[in-house]
Amino acid sequence: MQNRKPGSETRSGNTFQDDVRPPARAEPGGEAIQKALTTAIRAAQADFGTVQQYDSAEDCLRIVASCGFPDQVLNLFQMVRRDTNSTCAAALTQRMRVVVGNIAASYLFVGTRELAALQQAGVAAAHSTPIIVDNGQLWGVLTVHFRRPWEDTQYDPTPMERVAVRFAECLKDGAPQQTFAYRNAEGSDTRTFQRR
């Protein structure tokens, strides 16, 4: 089997990384959130993504930014409860990252309407991570999605996790509307991400 990077190939032959940018949407005033999502997609070499904010009154996640998904998928996942069959619901419940290299073979999805909707949208794999801010409070969940499945050894979750941590730090500073900038380990701004 060829060692392939997730997101490195799509049905059309183009990828997000080739600057074929899928439509991006964010709530009003959510430019920093959209920037964090775009940065996470690039860091993970993914194809789609969402940011969901935790609604403590309803104990659910609500989409506040998305990239690459058609309306029917966004409508299905607009409000995600803990019992929804998804990586984001599992990340909400477990408060830890959830990585699924093949949603068609995952216990989270087999035989569910969520699996059918994601496959119809071209999603084959996903990585969700909770956004934990000050005093361990859950702000929400960041998820990136891939068009192709992969084996665990083919995917490094670290770049996307770094973006999530940086975004949580921005939120902790109390200014999610400020410009989000991801900095690499050396401290310089980075626009291009490569797997190590």
Give residue 72's pLDDT. Answer: 85
User: Which secondary structure element, helix H or strand E, spans residue 57, and what is its range?
Assistant: none
pTM of the model: 0.78
* Residues contacting residue 44 through CB under 8 Å, at least 6 positions apart: 6, 7, 127, 144, 146, 157, 159, 160
Query: What CA–CA distance (Å, rounded) separates 160 from 167?
Result: 11
Give residue 11's pLDDT. Answer: 32
**pLDDT above 50 for 187:** no
* 21-79 residue pLDDT tens: 344 555 555 788 999 999 999 999 999 999 999 999 999 999 999 999 888 889 889 99
Could you tell me which residue, 185 or 83, shows the higher pLDDT? Answer: 83
